[in-house]
Each structure stands twice: as structure tokens, then as C-alpha cells.
Amino acid sequence: MAALAGLRDPQAALLYAYAASRDGGCTEEEAAAALGLAPEQVHKAAELTVVYGLTARELTPPPRQEPAYSAGELVRAREGDPAFSGLCSYFESAAGRILNRREMETLLNVHESLGMKPDVLTLLIGDCARRGRLTAREVERVAYRWHDMGLTDYADAEAYLQQQRDRRSRGARVLALFGMRDRLPGESEQKYIDKWDKLGVSDALLKLAYDRTLLGAGRMSWPYLDKIVTAWHEKGITTPEQAEHETREGPKGALSEKKAESAETAILRKMQEKRQQRALTLEKRREELRRESRAFAENESAMRLCASRMARSTGDARAALEAKYRESLAIQREILEKLGKPADYLTDKPDCAKCGDRGYVGTKKCDCLLRELKKLAGA
């Protein structure tokens, strides 16, 4: 807090508060849209927070203070604490790799500090994996957020995740209205969509507001569009017909153009959008299968429960649960076959199997990222 006070800059303090409220930090573009600041104002504020050690370059708040665990303590925890051992195994299975020491320290700190039930943490890890953001740091951020929200029970956590899936589905539908069908909305965009949903704004009215935004601002601007929608709501306008007869001009003053992204940032952003789109496609397929087949929905629920119990089990009990999980996978494949779906219908298929379309393998740039950078350099 002393460092925050030392900034003596209200915009930098506001930016830090916004970044700290986000599970995964934020980009300068997202912060500008959410806070109503110009890109150059956000960039200046971001530079101050970096100089004072409050954020990293990507506006991610620093992690909560973690105790330093010795190698022996980590080994004893992994071998002597069945719950922690199960969490590590579940994380490694979802990530497709072995945890490094730093990641294990982060997970152990979360496990010991929060006291969350293992089955709740496995739900959390599974959701991070489905969103394509499975890192120990992300698990830590979300775990603290869930703890602050009081999500300590499996049923409550599962209900919350379903609400979030419904929220993302609504967000994707609104983006499709705006012709953006290849990605999920960012958090700042989703907040606008949530606001319009609470106001009861129809899809037809949103589409008209989007068209007027393009005409008035010359490009897509979320704050500009929100001003149009909010003004219509305040005037009681609920249909496109009413809006067409309304003579009020749209809000003026389009935001300044954002700074050009670096080549690497642009490539990584496209990779992230691809991962998000695949995650959305798989989740839509699961939703359709749940509606179409009760057997699929029941088997999927049994698989989730089995996975959470595996995280808390060791020895023969864990082996039995693993066998049961494999049986459930086989049942899922049979159900997919009966429904005329291929065996890999629910399998994620990244363009690069080596990095999973993340651009990096550990701390090293993946060959796929290097190839794309080379293409741009030669263009």
C-alpha cells in the first residue's frame, strides 16, 4: 500500500485497482475500454506501476506473498499428503506435463493457506484447463477469488461454473451479432455484455447500436456503443423501430487509435483467440450433447465426480477410481458413436501439438512461433 500511495497519480492508482480485480490481469487496451481512459493515459499509468514494482509489464498484479518451501518439504507434501498429491497429479494430467518446483510451491501454498476442499480445487483446475489458461499462477488467482466469494462447497462451485459457462455463451452470441465469430469476449467486453443483459436489451437493438457505432465512430468502440445503448434505455427505447424514430445523435469523440502491437504480441493474441474459439466450440458441443442425451449428461457428471475423488485418493483406492474413469471414457465414446459423432468429437486439436498453440514451451519460443515471426520478417 505504501508503494501504491507513493504513485501520487490517480490514474495509475485506478489502473492498479482495476488490474488487481481481474483474475488474469489485463491488457492496456482492456483497461482503457473499462476505465474510459485514452490509450496514452493508460500507457503512462502502466509505466508508473511498473517503475514502482506494483505490476508486471502485462498489468498483472504481483502474487500474494508465498512461503519458501525446501525441496524436502515439497517431497514430503507430495508423498505424505494424499489430497495434495492428488491435486498435483490432476494438474499434471490436465496440463500434459510434470510440475516444476515453482508451480508445486504455488499449489502447496494455495492448498495450505486456503484450506479449500480438494474436489473444489479439481473443479477449478479443470475450468482453467478448459479455458486454455492452466498455469499454477492462474489457479492461485482464481482460488483466492473463489475463497473470497465463499465458494468452498463442490455443488456451489459447480453451479458457479455453470453460470460462467452460460455467461460466456451469451457473450459469444453477442459477438456473433457484431460479426466476431472467431473468439470469446475479453473480460472488459463481457462486462459490457453483462450490463446490457441486465438492462434487458434485445439482440435486434444491440445490432442497431453496433451499426450506429460503426457510422459514428468509424470503427467498433465498446464505450461508444455502450453510450448509445444506455441512452436508449434511459429514454425507454426498447425496439429498433423506436430507435429509428429517435433523432438524438450518437455520442461523439471516438477513442484514439491503439498503439500497434509488436509482431510477437499479435501472433500470440491470434493463438489465444484460436484456443478460446476451440474451447467455445467444445463447450457448445458438450451443451448440445447434454440436451440431446441424458445418458451423456449423467456419464459426464459421473466422470467429474470420479476425477475429484481421484485427487483425494492414493494406492488401491486411486487405482480403482482410475479404472472407473477409463470405463466412463469408454461409455462416452459409445454414446458418441450411437449419436453419430466421431471418437475425437470432444478432443481439443491445436495446430501445434508441441506447445498447444501457446507459442512457448516452458520459457522457450516454440518452433511454430519462430516460423510465424520469420514469415513476418520476410514479408
**DSSP codes of every residue in 34-69:** HHT--HHHHHHHHHHHHHTTSS-TT-PPPPPP-PPP
Whether residue 255 lies inside any domain: the answer is no
Backbone angles phi, psi at 87, to 5 degrees: -65, -45
Computed over every residue of the chain, the mean pLDDT equals 80
Which element (helix H / strand E) includes 262? Answer: none
Predicted pLDDT of residue 171: 87
Whether residue 218 sits in one domain with residue 273: no
Predicted pLDDT of residue 225: 92
Q: Report yes or no: 132 and 273 within 8 Å, Cβ to Cβ.
A: no
Whether residue 58 lies inside any domain: the answer is no
Predicted pLDDT of residue 49: 66
Point out the domain boundary residue: 107, 140, 160.
160
Predicted pLDDT of residue 48: 62
Whether residue 274 sits in one domain with residue 347: yes
C-alpha cell read off for 72: 524436502
Ranges in the chain, pLDDT < 50: 1, 23-24, 56-64, 66, 247-261
Whether residue 221 sits in one domain with residue 145: no
Summarize pLDDT for 58-80 with one digit per residue, the tens.
Answer: 444 444 454 578 888 999 999 99
Domains: count for the chain: 4
CATH number at 226 reads 1.10.10
Domain that includes residue 32, residue range: 2-51
Q: What is the reported pTM?
A: 0.44
Whether residue 328 lies inside any domain: the answer is yes
What is the SS3 assignment for 292? helix
C-alpha cell read off for 188: 472488459
Whether residue 166 lies inside any domain: the answer is no
CA dist., res. 82 & res. 67, Å (int):
21
**Separation in Å, CA 193 to CA 136, 183, 208, 224:** 29, 15, 15, 13
Whether residue 152 lies inside any domain: the answer is yes
Summarize pLDDT for 6-41 with one digit per residue, the tens.
Answer: 556 677 777 777 776 664 456 666 777 777 777 767
